[in-house]
Amino acid sequence: MAQPARPAARRGTSRAGQVRMSLIDRIRAPFGPAAGGPAAALIRTGPLAAAAVAILVLAGQLASLAWRLFADDESAPAAPPAITGPAAPAFDVASIVNAHLFGVTAADPNAAPEAAAGNFVLAGTLAGRDPEQGWAILGPNQQAARLYATGATLPGGARLIAVYADRVILERGGRRESLLLPRLSGGARPLPVARAAPAAAPVPPLDNVRELLARNPGAGTEILRPQPVFTGGQLRGYRLYPGRNRQQFTSLGLQPGDLVTAINGAPLDDPNRGLEALQGLAIGGAATLTIDRNGQVQQVSVDASAVAPQTAPADNPVQMPSLDVAE
């Protein structure tokens, strides 16, 4: 029984060997001598050679592209490293300014006084040719303002030094300040110019209007006589009547019984202030009066400078100032 099986094993071995030889022949066939000559060999090997060449060219292109990319990255200039060092010292501007490297500017002695209203309101001025011989209406407000002559000490310690048509000079703690006369925008009158006495008759300066009244008590009533009028215990104004010189009273455009309630818009609701203002007007002032005449309110411009010199004694002429009260 064993002898018949041996021929079958030999046949299987010979078949496997034939298969292996067939595969080897197929691999070696393209590279070995081919039947039919060189043309047949080129036809068989041409596609493989072309594919190999294409692969080499593609690999070369990829290598060149990669080289360019890496070369660009390496050739880009690197940012310079930040230089660290000690910080620059900060300059103290205040210390440089306070050092006065170019010197200190000397104060101008002729400079105008610094404007400072302080706690006062200038309601009016009575200025003459000499600014140190006038008087002004000052106070915390126009309603509470009072009449002060030059040289007078005001509440709070300030002293009235000079009076001009549009301002006064106050001295407070050795420092001079300028206080301006307030003006309403649009309706303010031009500043009146102080009326100087004729050159042919020089006049001695007066300390203030109160001194004039003290030297000539009748000067304030020579032209007009004011009488206070109260309504409900409150001063409403002053009713005017002619003085000893009735003709001068009439020449001012006044009529007996005119009730003056304001001077240039400043109400006469203070007895002392109103009386002194009217007395100053009577001895040569100029102003616009608000008058209640027979129930009708009128504005009357009064200039007593032309007639007031006749009220002073003939042997002692005086300079007549001009009155200007804030509107």
User: What is the Cα–Cα distance from 23 to 169, expressed in whole angstroms?
Assistant: 132
The reported pLDDT for the residue numbered 29 is: 60
Q: Domain of 203?
A: 114-184+194-325
CA distances from 196 to 202, 203, 305, 320 (A): 10, 10, 10, 8
- As a whole number of angstroms, the distance between CA 323 and CA 181 comes to 13
Confidence of residue 21 (pLDDT cuts 50, 70, 90): low
Query: What 8-state DSSP symbol labels residue 142?
Result: S
Distances (CA, A) of 316 to 199, 201, 205, 209: 16, 11, 11, 15
Number of domains observed in the structure of the chain: 1
Q: What is the mean pLDDT of residues 143-155?
A: 79
* 283: in domain: yes
Among 226-235, 257-266, 305-314, the least confident range: 305-314
132: domain CATH number? 2.30.42.10
Specify the residue for token string 């400043």.
266
Statement: residue 325 has pLDDT above 70: no
Helices (H), the chain: 5-28, 38-75, 93-98, 209-215, 246-251, 271-282
Q: Is 22 contained in some domain? A: no
Q: Residue 149, SS3?
A: strand
Q: Which residue do the tokens 């002293």 mark? A: 159
* Alpha-carbon span 297 to 290, nearest angstrom: 7
Match 């002729």 to its residue by tokens. 110
Residue 161 tokens, joined: 């030094």
Residue 37's pLDDT is 62
pLDDT tens digits, residue range 60-110?
Answer: 888 888 888 877 655 555 555 555 555 545 545 455 555 555 555 554 544
Q: What are phi and psi of 46, to 5 degrees?
A: -60, -50
Domain membership of residue 305 (yes or no) is yes
Q: Tell me what percent of the residues of the chain surpass a pLDDT of 70.
A: 49
Cross-strand bridge partners of residue 172: 175
In this structure, is residue 41 part of a structural domain? Answer: no
Q: Report pLDDT for 242.
A: 86
Does residue 32 belong to any structural domain of this protein? no
Structure tokens at 268: 């006469």
**129 or 173: which carries more pLDDT confidence?**
173
In a domain, 266, yes or no: yes
Q: Does residue 7 lie in a domain region?
A: no
Answer yes or no: is 256 within a domain.
yes
215-225 pLDDT tens trace: 555 555 667 78
Residue 309 to residue 18: CA distance in whole angstroms: 164
